[in-house]
């Protein structure tokens, strides 16, 4: 993140817009720095290195107005060069102990999260799963690390629809194995009452997250070492796992296909998956729909499902889709958002049009912040501050350079998605929905 800053020469005498941005960003970034005109290239390179090494995360650079206009100053001859943190690996004795824990467990369960490098880790992860024959669930931000048609794949965990069914399976397990598991995605502390083995690139400083054993370091190497260890027999049966999957599928089957209010969102997500290519990149906004699509949508590749599931930020699906299309122009990119979320970032449709990014935006319209409504009603309160009037997204889209269409029926939806995937400009599909699925499944 780079932002402007008040000129350093004016900051001492002019209070207008004087704010210590470096200090403001320090608690929420890996590194925060104000550019001074010295060693600029080195500083920027350090920012890039810090952002991607170890646990990836944001860095912040402030650029004062006078520094932006000055010529580069002579470098500081005493400045120490930046050195990346050395690679670490778990002790061999800890790997042996972990292998014994896995071998002795009767019903181990793997939970895959974000504390790994997705593309580098995936081959070793799949080899280890196949060797150990351990059923696996993934967190929303890790969807695609394990292809969701893998015979050992169970579900998406940590707060998605049907999470209570998975919680029952967790209660049966006698060992949870976190591969890159980070509790920032968990909405319930289910990991505190079971032995937990953590395999991750970095440790997590969280008081309630106390694994019985942590293997911190290069995850692919660690998984390869575990895969080579002797293994015991586990008590999970293919019949039990099949029953779980069938039960989850039944839970996610909507009671209504459509009503006078609109289409079923649960059926829409399944239909959208069937209509789109296997390698589609899906970006998902925050709201009731996120908890449903996170379980129904099948992901098959790492970094193909982009969602905010830590802070759960509204309005991120559309900008995330634009970034994904810039990075992967040859892949289909679809954004799923609610009417409240899209209303927050409508101007980004103009950005999509101006940059000629043919993304497909599916906006679910129920004229409500329905997840907040559910929370209010389930606590016995009257819904307040969550409803708004209809927004004509199909009509607004052309004014911002996009194609807009309203889909009230399944044939209209199918036709709009099919056309949008091959369009040369962004397409907005406005879909009136019936929120009954949210009430029943969340």
With cut-offs at 50, 70 and 90, classify the pLDDT of residue 171. Answer: very high
Q: Do 146 and 219 sit in the same domain of this protein?
A: yes
Q: Do 280 and 348 sit in the same domain of this protein?
A: yes
Q: Do 238 and 262 sit in the same domain of this protein?
A: no
Give the lowest-confidence range in 22-26, 203-207, 420-424. 203-207
Number of domains in the chain: 3
**50 vs 63: CA distance, rounded Å:** 18
Domain that holds residue 326: 254-441
Helices (H), 1-39: 21-25
- Is 86 a domain residue? no
For the entire predicted model, the pTM comes to 0.92
- Is 81 a domain residue? no
φ and ψ of 88, to 5 deg: -125, 160
Q: Do 295 and 410 sit in the same domain of this protein?
A: yes
Q: Do 116 and 137 sit in the same domain of this protein?
A: yes
Tens of pLDDT, residue by residue over 244-262, are: 999 999 999 988 888 889 9
Q: Do 279 and 232 sit in the same domain of this protein?
A: no
Q: Do 16 and 117 sit in the same domain of this protein?
A: no
Q: Do 372 and 297 sit in the same domain of this protein?
A: yes
Average pLDDT over residues 142-158: 96
Which of 234, 227, 233, 205 lies closest to 95 in space, CA to CA?
227
Residue where a domain stops, chosen among 197, 216, 245:
245
The residue assigned the tokens 């129920």 is 366
Residues 317 and 368: beta-carbon distance below 8 Å: no
CATH of the domain at 137: 3.40.50.1220
The residue assigned the tokens 């634009």 is 322
With cut-offs at 50, 70 and 90, classify the pLDDT of residue 310. Answer: confident
Residue by residue, DSSP assigns 269-300 as HHHHHHHS-TT-EEEE-SSHHHHHHHHHS---
pLDDT of residue 203: 86
């Amino acid at each position: 993140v780079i932002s402007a800053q008040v000129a350093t020469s004016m900051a001492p005498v002019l209070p207008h817009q004087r704010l210590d941005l470096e200090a403001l960003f320090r608690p929420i970034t890996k590194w925060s720095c104000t550019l001074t005109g010295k060693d600029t290239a080195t500083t920027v390179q350090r920012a890039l290195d810090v952002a991607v090494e170890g646990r990836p995360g944001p860095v912040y650079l402030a650029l004062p107005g006078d520094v932006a206009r000055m010529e580069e100053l002579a470098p500081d001859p005493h400045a120490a060069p930046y050195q990346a943190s050395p690679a670490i690996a778990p002790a061999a004795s800890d790997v042996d102990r972990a292998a014994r824990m896995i071998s002795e467990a009767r019903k181990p369960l793997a939970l895959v999260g974000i504390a790994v490098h997705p593309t580098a880790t995936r081959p070793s992860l799949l080899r280890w799963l196949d060797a150990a024959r351990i059923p696996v669930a993934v967190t929303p931000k890790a969807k695609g690390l394990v292809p969701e048609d893998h015979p050992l794949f169970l579900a998406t965990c940590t707060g998605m629809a049907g999470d209570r069914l998975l919680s029952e399976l967790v209660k049966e397990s006698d060992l949870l194995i976190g591969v890159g598991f980070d509790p920032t995605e968990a909405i319930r502390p289910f990991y505190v009452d079971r032995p937990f083995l953590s395999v991750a690139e970095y440790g997590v400083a969280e008081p309630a997250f106390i694994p019985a054993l942590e293997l911190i370091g290069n995850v692919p190497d660690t998984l390869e070492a575990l895969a080579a260890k002797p293994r015991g027999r586990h008590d999970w049966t293919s019949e039990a796992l099949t029953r779980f999957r069938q039960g989850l599928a039944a839970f996610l089957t909507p009671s209504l296909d459509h009503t006078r209010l609109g289409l079923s969102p649960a059926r829409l997500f399944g239909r959208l998956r069937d209509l789109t290519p296997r390698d589609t990149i899906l970006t998902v906004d925050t709201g009731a729909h996120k908890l449903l699509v996170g379980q129904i949508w099948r992901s098959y590749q790492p970094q193909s499902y982009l969602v905010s599931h830590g802070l759960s930020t509204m309005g991120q699906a559309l900008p995330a889709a634009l970034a994904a299309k810039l990075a992967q122009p040859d892949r289909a990119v679809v954004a799923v958002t609610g009417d409240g979320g899209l209303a927050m970032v409508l101007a980004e449709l103009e950005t999509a049009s101006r940059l000629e990014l043919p993304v497909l935006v599916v906006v679910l319209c129920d004229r409500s912040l329905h997840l907040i409504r559910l929370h209010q009603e389930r606590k016995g309160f009257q819904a307040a501050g969550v409803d708004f009037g209809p927004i004509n997204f199909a009509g607004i889209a052309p004014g911002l350079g996009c194609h807009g269409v309203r889909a009230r029926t399944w044939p209209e939806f199918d036709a709009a998605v099919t056309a949008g995937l091959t369009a040369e400009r962004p397409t907005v599909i406005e879909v009136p929905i019936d929120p009954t699925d949210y009430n029943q499944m969340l």
